[in-house]
C-alpha cells in the first residue's frame, strides 16, 4: 500500500462524510468502473425501481442500490442478495407505508437462505447477531445507506425515531440450515432447498432467551412465549415475532417430534398475558380508531367485553416465524420482535444468481 494512495482514499472518505453519505462510519469511495461491477452481477436494468415511497416522492433504483452497496463495503458478489432484500422489503409492506419515518424506530432484519450463504461467506453460526463477517455487516448496511441516501430518511429530519435500534447499522443473518433439523424458511414458503432467498422483516427489538436448564419442549416453549408476551412490546392489539432458535433448542424440539408449525401453534396458544397485568400497565383496552392499546377509561377505547382471564398477544400461528441460527453450543435463543407478518406469507424473495 502506497502512503499517497492511502491519503487519497482517506480524503475521499472524508469528502463522503462531509456530504452526509454515511451512517456515521466511514464508507468506501465508489467509482463508475467499480459501480459497473455491481451492476454486471445482476440481470437488471439500472433504472428499474426496487422500492417506491410515494409519500416522499422518492424511489430507489437498481443503480442507487448498487451505489449504496458499494459505499457500504459490499463486494459485487453480494449485490444479488442486496437487490432481493430490497424486493423483499417492498413485498413486506411496512417501509412503503412510511414506517421509517415513525417514532417507533424500526430496522430491517434480513434472513438469508440457500447456497448463496456459503458462496459469499455469510455467517449463520456462532455470534450470528454480532460483528465479524463482511457479508453480514455490509449487506445490512447497504440497505441502511440506501434508506439514508436515496430516500433521505435521516435522523432528526425525515426519520423521527425516538430512540431507534442498534439493528439500524446492520441486521443480516444466514439461517443455519446445516444444523437445523427442519427445512429452511424459504422452503416453508414454497421455494426449493437449492434456491437462495432473502426474507426481510421490519423489527423493533431482539430479546435473548436463556434456557440451558431443560430438555422439556413445553418448558422451553413457555419460556419463549413469556418473552413474546411482555407488555412493553404491545403498541398494537397484538404483536408478531421471528423466533430465532439455536441449533440446540431446535434439536430439542425436533427430538420430541415437534415441527416448526407445532411450535407456532403452541406459541399462539401460550403467548398470553393476564388481563389484570395488562390493566396494571394501562393497556387492557384497544382504540376504536388505531387498534392501539390504551386504558379502558380512554375516550377512544372500545368497550372491554370481559375483564379477567388471559389475553392472547398473537392473532394467529402465522404471526410467528421460526428460524434456526447461531452455534450449536448452548441453550440460548432469541425473539426478534417483528412488525409482521400477522397472517399470510412471509416476504420470501428468491435471489437471482
Binding site residues, other proteins, CB under 8 A = 56-58, 101, 152, 156-158, 160, 292, 294, 299
**Least gap, CB of 104 to other proteins (angstroms):** 12
What is d(CA 52, CA 55) in angstroms, rounded to the nearest whole number?
9
Residue nearer to other proteins on the CB measure, 212 or 289: 289
**Least gap, CB of 56 to other proteins (angstroms):** 5
DSSP symbol at 172:
E
What is d(CA 168, CA 107) in angstroms, rounded to the nearest whole number?
5
**Least gap, CB of 12 to other proteins (angstroms):** 27
Residue nearer to other proteins on the CB measure, 33 or 57: 57
**Least gap, CB of 309 to other proteins (angstroms):** 26
Residue nearer to other proteins on the CB measure, 275 or 292: 292
What is d(CA 149, CA 128) in angstroms, rounded to the nearest whole number?
27
Residue nearer to other proteins on the CB measure, 99 or 294: 294
Q: Are 232 and 192 spatial neighbours (Cβ–Cβ below 8 Å)? A: no
* SS3 label, residue 177: helix
Residue nearer to other proteins on the CB measure, 43 or 297: 297
* SS3 label, residue 222: helix
Produce one character per residue of 117-143: b if its CB has 16 or more CB atoms within 10 Å, e if not: beebebbbbeebbeeebebbbbbbbbb
Residue nearer to other proteins on the CB measure, 99 or 222: 99
Produce one character per residue of 249-267: b if its CB has 16 or more CB atoms within 10 Å, e if not: bbbbbbeeebebebbbebb
Q: Phi and psi (nearest 5°) for 214? A: -130, 155
Tell me the C-alpha to C-alpha distance, in Å, between residue 66 and each of 24, 63, 69, 94, 346.
19, 5, 5, 22, 25
**Least gap, CB of 299 to other proteins (angstroms):** 5
Q: Are 235 and 104 spatial neighbours (Cβ–Cβ below 8 Å)? A: yes
Residue nearer to other proteins on the CB measure, 260 or 283: 283
**Least gap, CB of 313 to other proteins (angstroms):** 20
What is d(CA 289, CA 292) in angstroms, rounded to the nearest whole number?
8
State the cell numbers at 82.
442486496
What is d(CA 245, CA 326) in angstroms, rounded to the nearest whole number?
8
Residue nearer to other proteins on the CB measure, 294 or 327: 294
**Least gap, CB of 288 to other proteins (angstroms):** 14
What is d(CA 36, CA 66) in angstroms, rounded to the nearest whole number?
9
* Element holding 225 (H helix, E strand): helix 217-228
**Least gap, CB of 58 to other proteins (angstroms):** 7
Amino acid at each position: 500500500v502506497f502512503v499517497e494512495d492511502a491519503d487519497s482514499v482517506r480524503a475521499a472518505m472524508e469528502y463522503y462524510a462531509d456530504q452526509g453519505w454515511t451512517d456515521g462510519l466511514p464508507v468506501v469511495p465508489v467509482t463508475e468502473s467499480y459501480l459497473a461491477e455491481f451492476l454486471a452481477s445482476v440481470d437488471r436494468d439500472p433504472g428499474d425501481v426496487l422500492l417506491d415511497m410515494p409519500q416522499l416522492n422518492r424511489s430507489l433504483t437498481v443503480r442507487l442500490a448498487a451505489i449504496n452497496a458499494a459505499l457500504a463495503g459490499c463486494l459485487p458478489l453480494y449485490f444479488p442478495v442486496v437487490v432481493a432484500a430490497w424486493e423483499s422489503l417492498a413485498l413486506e409492506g411496512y417501509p412503503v407505508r412510511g414506517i421509517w419515518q415513525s417514532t417507533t424506530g424500526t430496522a430491517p432484519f434480513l434472513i438469508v437462505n440457500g447456497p448463496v450463504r456459503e458462496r459469499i461467506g455469510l455467517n449463520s453460526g456462532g455470534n450470528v447477531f454480532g460483528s465479524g463477517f463482511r457479508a453480514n455487516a455490509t449487506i445490512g448496511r447497504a440497505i441502511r445507506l440506501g434508506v439514508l441516501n436515496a430516500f433521505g430518511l435521516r435522523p432528526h429530519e425525515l426519520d423521527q425515531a425516538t430512540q431507534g435500534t442498534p439493528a439500524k447499522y446492520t441486521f443480516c443473518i444466514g439461517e443455519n440450515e446445516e444444523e437445523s433439523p427442519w427445512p429452511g424458511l424459504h422452503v416453508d414458503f414454497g421455494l426449493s432447498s437449492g434456491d437462495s432467498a432473502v426474507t426481510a422483516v421490519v423489527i423493533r427489538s431482539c430479546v435473548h432467551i436463556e434456557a440451558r436448564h431443560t430438555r422439556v419442549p413445553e418448558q422451553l416453549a413457555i419460556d419463549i412465549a413469556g418473552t413474546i408476551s411482555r407488555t412493553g412490546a404491545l403498541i398494537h392489539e397484538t404483536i408478531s415475532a421471528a423466533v430465532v432458535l439455536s441449533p440446540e433448542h431446535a434439536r430439542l424440539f425436533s427430538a420430541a417430534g415437534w415441527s416448526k408449525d407445532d411450535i407456532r401453534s403452541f406459541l399462539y396458544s401460550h403467548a398470553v398475558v393476564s388481563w389484570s397485568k395488562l390493566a396494571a400497565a394501562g393497556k387492557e383496552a384497544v382504540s376504536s380508531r388505531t387498534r392501539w392499546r390504551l386504558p379502558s377509561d380512554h375516550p377512544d377505547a372500545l368497550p372491554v367485553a370481559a375483564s379477567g382471564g388471559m389475553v392472547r398477544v398473537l392473532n394467529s400461528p402465522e404471526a410467528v416465524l421460526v428460524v434456526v441460527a447461531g452455534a450449536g453450543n448452548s441453550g440460548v435463543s432469541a425473539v426478534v420482535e417483528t412488525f409482521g407478518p400477522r397472517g399470510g406469507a412471509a416476504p420470501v424473495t428468491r435471489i437471482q444468481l
